Amino acid sequence: MGIFFCFTLNSHKAEPQRLNLIKQIVFRLDKAIDFFEQDYESVNLDGLFGIRISQGVFIQLKQKTKSNWFFYSLNKAIPQFSNRISHLANKVHSNLISLSIDYVDKFNRLVDRPFISQTKIHSGLIEDSSLKVNFIKNASFNEKLSDECYLQLLNGHYSDLIEPRCFDFYTTDGTSGYSLTHQFLFFMIADNIGRFDDISVQLLDFLLEEKNQDRNIAMYLAKGHVHDLRSLIFSYFCTRIYHDAESMFRNFKNANDFKQDLFIEQIVLCGSVGFEEFFRIEWLKLVFSFQNKNGCFNQRENTYEINLKNVALERILSEVSSKRVKRYDSLMKDGCSSHQTGLALAYFSLINFSKLKKLFLLINHNSLLGTNLKI
């Protein structure tokens, strides 16, 4: 099996660089899948959520093969890669369900299917200096309250009201880190399960109360920057998350003292709803440096060199898509994080999809201009 790109490159140097980056992403994505396949019984709910995002990305990528002639040339490798991730996701999910853990049962609706964002933002981040707030770096994250509010959303009916304390928590100003990403995740989940319109009325009523009208999000809504609340919420939070991630990146000193898990979570959440600004090459290379040789992520620096310059993409895709799943009894080694590795798997899938789309557009553009490309 394999794919052959029947184009000839004459003058553009960007295409080989772009393709080499795609090869790096595919290789590292494969390593992360390998790691999970070897010990799927140790993957927790957080890890499965990342796998489900990756699964959703590859489902969309498979659909692209039906409509674009460039992606059609990937019609053997991509579906098999997609099936491999789907098989992994279903095995992990079945194992978690069999354990009869209360936490898993409560959050099952979030991980019982591929996670595909129903909304894609194409307008980009917001240019508004008022959103560059002084984040409270040491603010504590109330995970218990956050989970309680998620459950109201996941397990409630469309007519059920979300408690005001949840809207208070999810619209609080000055948040950063996990508090900020989990604020946004609440609205992402609402959109994913079809409850965003349901809760938007409650949210507006909450923000229009006199005591809440001076909140940043309420004031931003009043400016009328966007036409619908969904776009406002997504752009508002991801602009803030971007500033937070940029601050982290700018102050990076070493991987061992860096909040790797949070950084990848920031990229995945906003990247999955269409904010391409989060797919910066320098950020990707930093995440590369976090990956262990066995494919996992363990909150330490694990830099190892791989040289794929002279390896054809079709060879890599052929190898990773033809693997068979094996069962291993070993526990997760090296203190590896299921959550962080799952997020990285989702991240590599998202940015791979993004880069492939851009490569297709570039090839299509040069084809229309009569430029021959070979990749």
List, as one string, the DSSP characters of 81-129.
HHHHHHHHHHHHHHHHHHTT-HHHHHTHHHHSS----S----S-S---G
Is pLDDT at 248 greater than 90 in this prediction? yes
For residue 256, what pLDDT is reported? 83
- Spatial contact of 54 and 27, defined as CB atoms under 8 Å apart: no
Interior/surface letters 112-123, b for 16+ CB within 10 angstroms, e for the rest: eebbebebebee
Give the H or E element holding residue 355.
helix 338-368
pLDDT tens for each residue of 8-50: 333 344 466 777 888 888 889 989 999 999 989 999 999 999 9
Helix (H, G, I), strand (E, B) or coil at 291: strand
Taking the C-alpha atoms of residue 355 and residue 232, their distance in angstroms, rounded to an integer, is 26
Q: What is the mean pLDDT of residues 354-371?
A: 58
Q: Please list the residues that pair with 297 across neighbouring strands.
A: 291
Q: What pLDDT, on the 0 to 100 scale, is given for residue 263?
A: 96
Q: List all residues 6 or more positions away from 200 whose beta carbon is below 8 Å from its beta carbon.
A: 229, 230
Residues 57 and 346: beta-carbon distance below 8 Å: yes
Q: What is the pLDDT of residues 134-167, one digit of tens each?
A: 555 545 678 899 999 999 999 887 778 899 999 9
Of the pLDDT bands very low, low, confident and very high (cuts 50, 70, 90), residue 5 is very low
pLDDT at 339 over 60: yes
Distance CA 214, CA 182 (A): 22
Q: pLDDT tens for residues 63-105?
A: 776 665 555 555 566 777 788 999 999 999 999 999 988 989 9
Q: Phi and psi for 304 in degrees, rounded to 5?
A: -140, 145
pLDDT of residue 73: 54
Phi, psi of 11 (to 5 degrees): -125, -10
pLDDT tens digits, 290-336: 998 889 998 776 655 555 555 555 555 555 544 443 333 233 666 88
Q: How far apart are CA 23 and CA 243, in angstroms?
A: 29
First to last CA, the chain: 17
